[in-house]
């Protein structure tokens, strides 16, 4: 992953290689508005489908053809199922202090089929700049995510561990 903070907003670009039952490779590009709300998400499965979504930053979304996507109204974040980079963007945007929680609505992109749904999520700061509890609001999922002070995810149990 390549990540940069710019005056126009954060930008992240990377590639994913997935093993296990669903083997696939993907490339993603994410850019944010200056306030941290997602501006654009592009995801392409190598040899398969791709998507491009654009947000005004206030919860209105358009597809790559410029058509509005009413099913995504209200979401200001995106969650790529196979990448902790989207957790990092949300953690950085929220800036939670220890003990604080925040509920968000995210555009959830399941890989590798690129199915898109809305997902209600909760982030709770356990230790500022280090540990966060990530939960599905409906109670179907929870994980304790470890980060560097910059927000880069270093450990996401069962899904990701940063290797230097």
Residue 151 has what pLDDT?
86
Q: What is the pLDDT of residues 48-59, one digit of tens each?
A: 999 999 999 999
pLDDT of residue 138: 96
Domain ranges of the chain: 2-161
Which residues of the chain, if any, have pLDDT below 70? Answer: none
CA distance 45 to 23: 11
**pLDDT value, residue 150:** 86
pLDDT value at position 164?
72
* Cα gap 5→85, rounded to integer Å: 14
Q: How far is CA 67 from the centre of its chain?
A: 22
Q: What is the pTM of this model?
A: 0.92
Q: Residue-wise over 90-102: b if at least 16 C-beta within 10 A, else e?
A: bbbbbebeeeeee
First to last CA, the chain: 12
Determine the pLDDT at residue 19: 76
Please tell me the predicted confidence (pLDDT) of residue 88: 95
């Amino acid at each position: 992953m390549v990540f940069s903070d710019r005056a126009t907003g954060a930008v992240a670009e990377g590639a994913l290689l997935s093993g296990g039952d669903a083997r696939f490779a993907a490339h993603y590009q994410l850019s944010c508005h200056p306030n941290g709300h997602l501006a654009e998400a592009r995801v392409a499965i190598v040899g398969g489908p791709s998507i491009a979504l654009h947000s005004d930053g206030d919860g209105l979304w358009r597809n790559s053809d410029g058509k509005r996507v009413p099913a995504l109204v209200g979401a200001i974040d995106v969650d790529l199922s196979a990448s902790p980079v989207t957790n990092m963007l949300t953690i950085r945007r929220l800036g939670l202090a220890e003990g604080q929680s925040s509920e968000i609505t995210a555009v959830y992109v399941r890989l590798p089929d690129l199915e898109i749904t809305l997902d209600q999520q909760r982030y709770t700061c356990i230790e500022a700049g280090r540990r966060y509890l990530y939960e599905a609001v409906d109670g179907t999922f929870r994980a304790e995510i470890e980060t560097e002070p910059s927000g880069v995810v270093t450990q996401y149990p069962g899904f990701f561990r940063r290797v230097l």
